[in-house]
Amino acid sequence: MSTAPTPLPARRPRPDDVERALERVHQPIPNTLDDLGRMAGEAVMTQFESVAKATEEMGREVKERVTALEEALVEADRDLKMIEEAAHSVREKGKLVQAQVAQSAQLSRELRETLAKVTKRVEG
C-alpha cells in the first residue's frame, strides 16, 4: 500500500512587521554610543508622538460628544418650555371651565327660585 506524499503548504507572505524588521537588520550598525543614544531617543520620541496623537483623537471624540450633549440640552430646554406652556394653557382652560360651571350653577339656582315664585303665583 503506497501513500501519496503530502503536498507542502503554500508559502505565506511575510507580514509587514517582519519585512520592516528585516530592513532594519540590513541597516548599518551604529559605530558609537552617540549613535545608539540618538536612535534610542528617536524611538522613544516616536512612541511618545504616537501616544500624543491617540490622546488628541480622544480629545476630538470627547469634543464631539460634548457638542452632541449641548445640542440635546438646547432641545430639552425647548421641550421643557413647550411643556410649561401646555401646563399653563391647561390651567387657564381649567379656570375658564370652573367659571362656566359656577355660572351654570348660579343660573340653575336663579331658575329654580324663579320657578318657585311662578309656581306660587299660579297656585295662589
Give 8-18 pLDDT, tens digit per residue: 666 555 556 66
Domains contained in the chain, number? 1
Domain-embedded: residue 37: yes
CA atoms within 13 A on the CB side of 62: 6
Domain-embedded: residue 62: yes
- Predicted local distance difference test score (pLDDT) of residue 27: 66
Domain that holds residue 37: 31-123
pLDDT greater than 70 at residue 31: no
Give 44-80 pLDDT, tens digit per residue: 999 999 999 999 999 999 999 999 999 999 999 999 9
Higher pLDDT pick, 37 / 68: 68
Domain-embedded: residue 112: yes
Contact status, residue 30 vs residue 39, Cβ threshold 8 Å: yes
Alpha helices for the chain (secondary structure H): 16-25, 33-123
